[in-house]
Structure 1
Amino acid sequence: MKGYRLYIMRHGRTEANEKGIYIGKTDYSLSEAGKRELLDKLDEFDYPGVERVYTSPLKRCTETAEIIFKDRETIVVPDLRELDFGEFEGLGVEELIKRDDYKEWLKGGIENSPPGGEALSDMIVRVYQALDRIIRNMMDEEFNATAIVTHSGIISNMLSCFGLPKYKPNEITCEPGEGFEVLVTTQMWHQAQAFEILGRAPFLK
């Protein structure tokens, strides 16, 4: 049975990452240090050859795609954007930890959302819709290998919900500019909405 390889990659580092603040819908570019880090990783790692790149619309992802998958066709997928953190956007843990609504949100729960933000359940629905469109597009066009460039929260929840073997979201994290290789088959996706997690990407030279 034919398998399709999908490389799910995290965007490079931003100034917000360096400051330790929450950014979801806020459209940060890569920091200069983040760009240099990606270029260094191109020397250190072999990034996979892909036929198409699907990316979050936020600049930190589109800029990452331009660097690590240079000259590849890129399609922006709005539903690959990060969780909307609502009132927590632009704030750090030291400031937020004093707030009761932040402490409540940290308790977790699929329906729990930041004030004015997005519930995890809503994010998972749109991520499934995006992933289903991407996988069907891969199969229709018979692409053997494609990439997704998105956000850490999207990646950990995507792999936790649809990946095999099963992991909790906090067990499957990755560094900026890195991610995971997964294998999708028609039968597994259509019957179980699942894919196989093969390992981490990119690969050391």
Structure 2
Amino acid sequence: MSLKIYLLRHGETEYSRRGAYCGALDPELTPEGSQMAQAFADAYRSVSWSAIYASPMKRTVATAQPLCEAVGLPMQTRDGLKEIGYGAWEDKEQDDVRVRYEQDYIRWLTEPAWNPPTDGETAVQVASRALPIISEIESNYKNGNVLVVSHKATIRIILCSLMGIDTGRYRDRIDTPAASLSIVKFDVHGPMLEVLGDRNYMPEHLRNRVGT
């Protein structure tokens, strides 16, 4: 038996619904986002879970909570799993950022590993705080299934790091829609990506919602 880490992005929020930047902001899930969280719990409650980790933000806690309640496991929150900080871009939409912070935006698009959103975090900084959580899980759970509920950029950065993909390409190579699930298996050959961005567990009307 080997370790599998299930990386679940939080359910829909108003920010993900309209495509606005939201990292340090702490919104609740939309009603549909809560339905996504419950759908995940219903679909995966029969898995033999070893642990459940989550970012401490409201949207991630609310996404993890239904499964915690279904399987009777405590939620282990870790600050390292928080979303990338968008700094001055928080609460703004892409078109606004493109105009108001043009040079920073171009640099970020070109190489986000080392160029942050204005006053925000780089992908390298996110990796430096998120990957130790993955190492902690690998150390504590040699076998079994561990759920990690985190955020769009953070999950993509984790996956790039584990898969040997240039961290600066996290926005170009990997997509993780709201409440999507990715699964990484750890064995003697290292991490293997088994599932990426899956939302087939949820009802069609939730899968069809437009957003990021």
TM-score, reference length from structure 1? 0.83
User: In structure 2, what is the Cα distance between the partners aligned to 1:41 and 1:137?
Assistant: 24
The equivalent residue for 1:5 is 4
Supply the AA of the counterpart residue of 1:88: W
| Correspondence for 1:138 among 135, 138, 141 | 141
Instruction: Tell whether the 8 Å contact from 1:46 to 1:202 is kept in structure 2 after alignment.
Output: no
**Conserved? CA contact 2:184–2:195, under 8 Å:** yes
| CA drift at 1:60 | 0.5
* 1:171 aligned onto 2:173: yes
Structure 1 partner of 2:130? 127
One of 190, 193, 197 as aligned partner of 1:197 = 193
In structure 1, the partner of 2:209 is: none
- Which residue is 1:72 aligned to? 73
Q: Is structure 2 residue 116 aligned with structure 1 residue 90?
A: no
Structure 1 unmatched ranges of 5 or more: 189-193
Q: Verify the 8 A CA contact 2:24 2:84 in the aligned structure 1.
A: yes
Q: Percent identity?
A: 22
What number of residue pairs does the alignment pair up?
193
Are the aligned partners of 2:4 and 2:145 in contact in 1 as well (CA < 8 Å)? yes
Which is further off, 114-123 or 6-15?
114-123
Question: How high is the TM-score relative to the length of structure 2?
Answer: 0.80
Question: Stretches of 4+ moved more than 6 A in 1?
Answer: none
1:160 alignment counterpart: 160
Conservation of the 8 A alpha-carbon contact between 2:39 and 2:201: no
Q: Which residue number corresponds to residue 102 of structure 1?
A: 105
Provide the rounded CA distance (Å) in 2 between the counterparts of 1:126 and 1:59. Answer: 19
What SS class does the counterpart of residue 79 from structure 1 fall into? helix
* Partner Cα distance (2:51, 2:63) in 1: 14
